[in-house]
Amino acid sequence: MTGVKSEKIKISFGRRQFAVDVMWSERKRLSITVYPDLKIVAKTPAGYELEVVQQRLVKRASWIARQLDFFEQFQSFPMERKFVSGETHYYLGRQYRLRTRRGDTPRVRLLGRFFEMQLPDPNKREKAKALMLDWYSEHARDLLTRRLAYYLQAFVRMGVTEPQVRYRRIKKRWGSCSGNGNIMLNTELVKAPIHCIDYVIIHELCHLICPQHDRKFYQLLGRILPDWEKRKQRLEKVII
């Protein structure tokens, strides 16, 4: 982009140091954004001195730390499974063993403590993976739609407009709420306990009222879900 000057600086918060990309351009206000990949960007008006930008960043250091802590929980996801008999897979927070068998009709069923997968050639791992992911996606969409509809009622009474909702399988975020009020929920959530799923849904619904992770947001979240921190800690232990 023409007319943009940039520089990388560091700020301190306790024992932590944050690297920040500072970008000057023709704008009226300074904005600070922490991205899911842990990148921190400060966009500042062209006339701001670097010292002024640093002072503003130091004042927001506590907020930056909270944003980083939130996103860091999604950085270390396990390796992809092989989708073969004997593997452990999760559904609603419980472990199930995968059992594969030959059969003309491809299908996945939950039987007791087992996922039973049937397909013409169980050795074709890509086929097995696609079949399993389809099962998760179908059940996730149904469950997440019902849970979100249940909690949305309270937010509508608070004046919230019903959001557009998308369901996707992604690796680094359980959910998100865009500036336009559109919510995305990760279909991998179906592997977590129900109380963790509800935490993510309510978290994103709160963003329809308080877009930033600021004090007002956490006050609202705490009022609706007093034990949200315990739910968040449990969610961080979910293996997908």
Query: With bands split at pLDDT 50, 70 and 90, how would you rate the model's confidence at 69?
Result: confident
What number is the average pLDDT over the span 6-22? 89
Greatest alpha-carbon pair distance for the chain in Å reads 70
In Å, how far are 116, 139, 183, 196, 223 from 220, measured between CA atoms? 42, 30, 18, 18, 5
Residue 75 CB neighbour total at 10 angstroms: 11
The pLDDT of residue 48 is above 80: yes
Percent of the chain surpassing pLDDT 90: 70
> Between 81 and 198, whose confidence is greater?
198
| Domain boundary assignment for the chain | 5-72, 88-235
Look at the block and give the residue holding tokens 């860091």.
72
The whole-model pTM stands at 0.68
Per-chain mean pLDDT for the chain: 89
CA count, 13 A, side-chain hemisphere, 171: 7
Tokens at 110, concatenated: 């939950």
What number is the average pLDDT over the span 86-100? 93
Supply the pLDDT for residue 128: 94
Supply the pLDDT for residue 27: 87
> Between 170 and 130, whose confidence is greater?
130
What number is the average pLDDT over the span 165-191? 91
Supply the pLDDT for residue 73: 61
Fold of 88-235: Zincin-like (3.30.2010)
